[in-house]
Amino acid sequence: MASSSPSNRPSFWGEVSGALGDLGTLVPLAVALITVNGLPSTGVFFGVGVAYILTGLFYRLPIPVQPLKAVAAIAIARGLPGPTVTAAGWVMGVLLLLFAITNTYRWLDRLFTRPVIRGIQLGLGLMLVHSGLALASRPQVVPGGEERVVHLAAQAISLGWVLAALTAIILLWALRSRRWPATLPVLAFGGLMALTVGGAGRVLGTVRLGLALPVPALPPSGDLMAALWWLVLPQIPLTLGNAVFATADTARAYFGERAARVTPRNLLTTIGVFQLIAALFGGIPVCHGAGGLTAHYRMGARTGLAPLLMGTLCLALALFVDGNVLPLLALVPYPVLGALLAFVGVQHARLARDLRGWTETGVALITAGVGFATGNLALGFGGGILLEQTLRLTQRVRMRQSALP
């Protein structure tokens, strides 16, 4: 059951703070996919905005909308063209809707036991912390800004580390005092640093307001096959594990009976629909995610108002910044995103605290360890399943042997 403590009571400013809690995942991936892979910024934020608004209206909880992490990571690393990335959305959308319609998820659910899900959550938490530290260590404070260093005891270190440490202090103070929604003072500090030491003022000078509508487009058939092989197959286990089963489990942990609509079938359906909407306008393939739910929740979101606010902001960025939103994103420095991402990772990893016994703990640790070490939670899922099934088989053999006369 969800807690009835005061921290679970919704407030408007808590919803505002929570709505911005998952920027540490969305902003870096969106910036990279726009700049490296050539995705149109209007299509990217239009797809995310529509998905967030529909999510808030349907689930009435702060269920997140995130880029598909494996798809984004592989596409960025390989420099795949934009049409191939959006083609992945078409393929994933069709597959996930088929899983929901044919009830395929019911037998898949047997593979995602509690220790495996906890391992996925723990592994994702470790990956979020690692990604947060990587963002903090960037020599640039803001996208497109100059490299900044400070000298401490004759040692030159990136200014990002200093700003990340200050961000963490402000975040912990805000969470402890509960006087201000946690994300708001953090983002205010980030905006001030971006304008003063990050060089965002020069970047902001390129902002142009104006109406920009998303343009529908269909990918060539060749891109569909390339997307299936390079992007979709590595993504499917991660989507099922983290975006479907782990998200449903996390929602129950935070909201109890209020999460009645957050079922695997509903999650598969909404993710599938959102994939097709984003793909139609050349946007990022998106999903839900247990880590993003933790981010929204820990930063104060308790209702569907948070995704509605985030969706409205994304639509405004898509439609009214003349197709060039990147300069505005410079107001959120990399170190601030990194600190937020690392904090969310720690909070998400804490979901594994309810593991009992060496068997559950071992399965979860193998799942998390393999996933984190390889950077692929799908491989971690496979390792956890293999260990769990081996342990079960061993237990059955021992029971049969002990039953023999």
Band the pLDDT of 364: cuts 50, 70, 90. Answer: very high
What local confidence, expressed as pLDDT, does residue 151 receive? 60
Mean pLDDT (whole number) for 126-131: 83
Mean pLDDT (whole number) for 227-247: 85
Band the pLDDT of 174: cuts 50, 70, 90. Answer: confident
% residues pLDDT > 70 (the chain): 92
Position 253 in a domain: yes
Is 80 exceeded by the pLDDT of residue 330? no
Position 1 in a domain: no
Position 54 in a domain: yes
What local confidence, expressed as pLDDT, does residue 4 receive? 37
Position 315 in a domain: yes
Position 299 in a domain: yes
Mean pLDDT (whole number) for 297-324: 92
Tell me: the pLDDT tens digits for 179-209? Answer: 666 778 888 898 888 888 777 667 677 777 8
What local confidence, expressed as pLDDT, does residue 3 receive? 43
Is 50 exceeded by the pLDDT of residue 257? yes
Domain that holds residue 20: 6-403
What local confidence, expressed as pLDDT, does residue 5 receive? 42
What local confidence, expressed as pLDDT, does residue 372 receive? 87
Q: What is the dihedral of CA 223, 92, 50, 242, to 10 degrees?
A: -130
Position 209 in a domain: yes
Position 149 in a domain: yes
% residues pLDDT > 90 (the chain): 36
Mean pLDDT of the chain: 85
Is 70 exceeded by the pLDDT of residue 150? no
Mean pLDDT (whole number) for 107-119: 81
pTM (2 d.p.): 0.77
Is 80 exceeded by the pLDDT of residue 98? yes
Mean pLDDT (whole number) for 216-243: 85
Is 90 exceeded by the pLDDT of residue 92? yes
What local confidence, expressed as pLDDT, does residue 178 receive? 67
What local confidence, expressed as pLDDT, does residue 6 receive? 41
Q: How many domains, the chain? A: 1
Position 202 in a domain: yes
Which is higher by pLDDT, 45 or 356? 45
